[in-house]
Amino acid sequence: MELVDTHCHLYFHQYDRDRAAALQRAHDAGVRRIIVPAIDLSSCRQALEVAAGENGVFAAVGIHPNSSADFNQAMLDELRPLASAPQVVAIGEIGLDYHWDKSPKPAQWRAFESQLALASELKLPVIIHNREGRVDTAPSASEDLMAIVQNWAAAIPPERRMRLGVLHSFSAAAAVAERALELGFYLGFTGPLTYKKADALREIARRLPLNRILIETDGPFLAPQQRRGKRNEPAYVRYINEKLAELHRLPAEEMARHTSDNAETLFALARR
């Protein structure tokens, strides 16, 4: 059984003591490819460094919404050559975050739209972060985000709409999942899919077409129920695969084949 962890921040300090051992554990668990997304310009370089030193490890570069308060044209100009590196398979993670008060909404929107345009320019998919506010707001992060990506996707040539991107660590409502699927996005699932009170999320995952699902750890965060409270790592992506297999009433090996094929398609991994 071969697995792809499509989202793990391997450059974070939580891996400094045992990064090589964590990668070996991932390999032993059947994880053959890992995508390492950045959150700012510094981590773009770190992600590229990690990817350059490991077979089967790839990078995504981008400015996270919580790092976007000072976003400007100079940052975008610095990001462009980083995104052209051979290890890069996506722009990300980018998007909107209304939970933390680290960046004004207009700055988040500007950074998001600029990086979507960069992804179009470079013909790369996007890895999208979407987190709602601490209290209900109108419009929500999901509403603003889907309006932005719908406008962006409308300008993408039809032949590229199968590789738009992924809504990573999906946690929004079923209506958002439906809109994302209609546009051509994949949905990525992380540890919360396994949590005891995540029945609504599991129902969304159960109803998804098999050709639109990705598995992720989002390590070092969001460890699955079996390892909850501990640092997350790529080996644990197997628990997400197992839960999805259970929801779709498939053998784990078959679910792994679907999610790995999806990752290869979206991120063009077979060509790298």
CA dist., res. 219 & res. 223, Å (int): 7
For the chain, what are the domain ranges? 3-271
pTM here is: 0.97
Task: Express each pLDDT in 30-89 by its tens digit.
Answer: 999 999 999 999 999 999 999 998 999 999 999 999 999 999 999 999 999 999 999 999
CATH number of 3-271: 3.20.20.140
Q: Which residues contact 201 (CB under 8 A, 6 or more apart)?
A: 170, 171, 189, 192, 193
Per residue in 229-272, pLDDT (tens digit) is: 999 999 999 999 999 999 999 999 999 999 999 999 999 997 55
Q: Identify the DSSP state of 269.
A: G
Asked whether residue 134 carries a pLDDT value surpassing 90, the answer given is no
